[in-house]
Structure 1
Amino acid sequence: MTNIIDELKWRGAINQVTDEEGLNKLINEKSVGLYCGTDPTGDSLHIGHLIPFMMLKRFQMAGHRAHIIIGGGTGSIGDPSGRNSERVLQTMETVHHNEEALTKQMKKLFGADNITIVNNYDWLSKIDLLAFLRDYGKLFNLNTMLNKEVVASRLEAGISYTEFTYQILQSVDFHHLWQEHDVQLQIGGADQWGNITAGIDLIHKMEGSDAQAYGLTIPLMLKADGTKFGKTAGGAVWLDPKKTTPYEFYQFWLNQDDRDVVRYLKYFTFLSHEDIEDLAEKVKTQPEKREAQRKLAEEVTEFVHSKEAVEQAKRISAALFSGDVKTLTADDIEQGFKNMPAVECASEPANIIEWLVGTGIEKSKRQAREDVNNGAIRINGDRITDVDFEIDPSAKFDGRYVIARRGKKKYFLAHVK
């Protein structure tokens, strides 16, 4: 079995470990149970959330028993981590909807082998107030809780008792999985260190100091320019294809900085050491070819979406680069032109000049005629030079779209009404 700790170290994916020697010994002896959790605060993960789950996937691929907690219980009260203010409490209806969406995403990413997905609402909801205070509250020292970074950072602005108790609930999760699923290791982001160590302390207090329980955190991911990874001008990069299309997802990875791409290859792909080192060398010697970025985009898009999504993204990219959009499908258009200037047009055929002015692509008939005569107008990939040309909106792309291009790069997507 692969020494997964050494593998994670090579990939720069370990921030802190509790009792590394003990964890290494355990991993070398048997298949380890481990878990990572996420709260259903939304109906999709974004790529920032993906980082610890990529590490969980590596453990799974190395033969270990991966567990995922969808935090229906903890998600209903709110994790104080990484925030300067209280979370807005969601309705239980919203929480349950998000649980279902995240569970579906996890099943797609992890498949069926060596994976167990559970919901902490199933056990946390059964603990009454007196049992919570008697069985768990007595085991947590208030001073220790206040000193946890995730709480200490909130004391000045203020923190509710609800969010203050989050670390107890997460600790209960670890103990439950330890007891019911033979889970010995919890992994999470760097901001989860306090919650993870609180869970280990709880297990030792309840089960004895020799109980095997460990924690591992992932470094905070920053880009080379110091800004937060995973954010774009348009916001988060989501795993849900309805929120971030596979084409946009592919483009995000394709556009990574040379200074970041090798680190991302180590974090987000399952390529071998040799393959990554070869790509790293090409970044140094042939950066203009951007082979590392292309490989990164292909690997992560295939993992999150599918091989077909990769091929579609490449097809859209090639068509936009060359201007040859005739081979694209309506679905390709929907993805690739999502952020292009959009106009509307009627479904009936219309003269090219009338159509350009009617959609607002051209400001005047005079300008429209000039551009057509000069060959500056393309409709659905074809150059139009005849001012009497008639556009038939139903002719291409299932009658849903007309693509107009003015000049070399100015695209417009006309939605057929």
Structure 2
Amino acid sequence: MKNVFDTLKERGFIEQCTHEEEIKEMLEKEKVTFYIGFDPTADSLHVGHFLTIMAMAHMQQAGHQPIALIGGGTTMIGDPTGKTDMRKMMTKEIIANNAECFKKQLSKLVNFEDDAALMVNNSDWLLDLNYVEFLREIGAHFSVNRMLSAECYKQRMEKGLTFLEFNYMLMQSYDFLELNRRYGCALQLGGNDQWSNILGGVELIRRKESKPAFGMTFTLLTTSEGKKMGKTEKGAVWLDADKTSPYEFYQYWRNIEDTAVIKCLKLLTFLPMNQINELAALEGAEINQAKEVLAFEITKIIHGESEAKKAEDAAKALFAGGGKGGSIPTTELSVDELGNGLDILTLMQKASLIATRSEGRRLVQQGGVRINDVKVETIDRIVTSEDFTDQELMIRKGKKVHHRISLQ
């Protein structure tokens, strides 16, 4: 059977390893318990988490045991990684609710039955720590000079790094130590922005327990400009269908830049490499075929095959000019609300396509709004019942955002 290390390497996951040859040998010869941390700062996972979840699924399919560590304790402090501002504090009740939502979403890719995977909350050990004992047992092993050289702290030093946040590396390292003691966890995985924190835990276990421990980080999903993928004008691309509809989710992947398509097919789908290599040979306009495969496969993983098919049909209907797909975001408008007509800015506000009228005014002035594929020339454009065909009309914002208005 193929070593999962080779699978992860071939598909482009692995960025850095603490001890590459030892990790490869361990994954080939042993059943390894590993963990990935998730801070429950929202009630849904988002695209930024998706890559590490896929890695977790590959690892489990190869016979290894995942631990999804929910940061119920660390979330009450905040991780400075990748932030220029301090994270908002959260209550225990909100954190518990978010953790439950995470488990439902993770279960689409990871099997938690019969302890095939575990979900653990670090609040179990962090919230009752004795501060003096923690400093003596853990703090003594960390160099402040070395911690300040970590990129995550450098970024925050410019605006002011609180002692609260400074403790985050110690707490995450202690998580790894606790998981090692309780479950025999020997490997921590995470995004490449977690490298400094992961190293802290690996070194702590080796010093305290005199046992091998390992860390491995994954490439981050970024655009050609180096920005993290998973953001739209509306904000994050969520895995929860109520936050990002299956259609919007499909469209996000259908419209990613050409240079990212094959990378995403390797990282975010289970398609075999020979099929991906065939898609990689496509050039010019044919790349759109690869994008359609990518969008369908990812939407199928997260939302199921039925929703993926609906989203695909809706996208094709729009492209063909029909606009009849059942998954297109829709706002229902009553005949009374429409009255003798609504101006375009009011209609767009009702459809939540703009946050302010000034935003809508700029869009119209820049030629970025269309009704039934006809450009809106002025903000004085009044939409009336005559604009509707079969009680429906389509608004297009920019090149990629389509929205149906249904007259009831």
Scaled by the length of structure 2, the TM-score of the pair is 0.82
| Matching of residues 223-302 of structure 1 within 5 Å | 223-282=223-282, 284=283, 287-288=285-286, 290-302=288-300
> Quick one: distance in 1 between partners of 2:127 and 2:383?
66
> Quick one: distance in 1 between partners of 2:107 and 2:155?
35
1:279-304 deviations in Å (ceiling 9; x for gaps): 1112x2x6336221111111111111
- What does residue 379 of structure 1 align with? 389
Give the letter aligned to residue 301 of structure 1: T
CA contact (8 A) 1:258 1:287 kept: no
Give the letter aligned to residue 307 of structure 2: A
1:228-287 deviations in Å (ceiling 9; x for gaps): 3111222211111111000110111111222110111011011111010011112x2x63
Q: Secondary structure at the match of 1:379?
A: coil
1:219: Cα distance to partner?
1.9
CA contact (8 A) 2:262 2:276 kept: yes
Give the letter aligned to residue 314 of structure 1: E
- What does residue 345 of structure 1 align with? 335
The yes-or-no answer on 1:64 pairing with 2:56 is no
Q: Cα distance 1:280–1:136, how it changes in 2: closer, same or farther (>3 A)?
A: same
Identity %: 38
Instruction: Give the aligned CA root-mean-square deviation in angstroms.
Output: 2.8
Q: Secondary structure at the match of 1:188?
A: strand
1:413: Cα distance to partner?
0.8
- What does residue 320 of structure 1 align with? 318
- What does residue 403 of structure 1 align with? 392
CA contact (8 A) 1:345 1:359 kept: no
> Quick one: distance in 2 between partners of 1:32 and 1:411?
47
- What does residue 131 of structure 1 align with? 133
CA contact (8 A) 1:72 1:120 kept: yes
> Quick one: distance in 2 between partners of 1:301 and 1:222?
19
Tell me, which stretches of 5 or more residues in structure 2 are unaligned? Answer: 345-370, 372-377
> Quick one: distance in 2 between partners of 1:184 and 1:405?
54
Give the letter aligned to residue 328 of structure 2: G
Give the letter aligned to residue 392 of structure 2: I
- What does residue 413 of structure 1 align with? 405
Choose 106-115 or 181-190, whichever is displaced more.
106-115
Q: Cα distance 1:188–1:406, how it changes in 2: closer, same or farther (>3 A)?
A: closer
Which of structures 1 and 2 has the bigger CA Rg? 1
Q: Secondary structure at the match of 1:44?
A: coil
Give the letter aligned to residue 259 of structure 1: T
Scaled by the length of structure 1, the TM-score of the pair is 0.80
Q: Cα distance 1:11–1:411, how it changes in 2: closer, same or farther (>3 A)?
A: closer
Choose 71-80 or 97-106, whichever is displaced more.
97-106
Q: Secondary structure at the match of 1:167?
A: helix
> Quick one: distance in 1 between partners of 2:227 and 2:154?
24
1:13: Cα distance to partner?
1.5
> Quick one: distance in 1 between partners of 2:133 and 2:214?
26
Q: Cα distance 1:324–1:149, how it changes in 2: closer, same or farther (>3 A)?
A: closer
1:227: Cα distance to partner?
3.5
CA contact (8 A) 2:34 2:188 kept: yes
> Quick one: distance in 1 between partners of 2:53 and 2:404?
39
CA contact (8 A) 2:53 2:106 kept: no
The yes-or-no answer on 1:212 pairing with 2:212 is yes
1:105: Cα distance to partner?
1.6
Task: From 297, 306, 311, give the equivalent of 1:308.
Answer: 306
1:83: Cα distance to partner?
0.7
> Quick one: distance in 2 between partners of 1:224 and 1:234?
21
Q: Cα distance 1:203–1:84, how it changes in 2: closer, same or farther (>3 A)?
A: same
1:37-74 deviations in Å (ceiling 9; x for gaps): 11011111110122222212211122111111111111
The yes-or-no answer on 1:141 pairing with 2:143 is yes
1:124: Cα distance to partner?
1.4
Q: Secondary structure at the match of 1:154?
A: helix
- What does residue 19 of structure 2 align with? 19
> Quick one: distance in 1 between partners of 2:100 and 2:76?
14
Q: Secondary structure at the match of 1:37?
A: strand
- What does residue 396 of structure 1 align with? none
| Matching of residues 30-109 of structure 1 within 5 Å | 30-109=30-109
> Quick one: distance in 2 between partners of 1:64 and 1:412?
46
- How many positions carry a matched residue from both structures? 367
- What does residue 175 of structure 1 align with? 177
Tell me, which stretches of 5 or more residues in structure 1 are unaligned? Answer: 348-354, 381-401
Give the letter aligned to residue 379 of structure 1: T
> Quick one: distance in 1 between partners of 2:301 and 2:292?
14
Q: Cα distance 1:411–1:148, how it changes in 2: closer, same or farther (>3 A)?
A: closer
Task: From 329, 337, 340, give the equivalent of 1:357.
Answer: 340
Give the letter aligned to residue 414 of structure 1: S
1:138-197 deviations in Å (ceiling 9; x for gaps): 222222222222223322321111110111111111111111112111111111011000
- What does residue 115 of structure 1 align with? 117
> Quick one: distance in 1 between partners of 2:252 and 2:203?
41
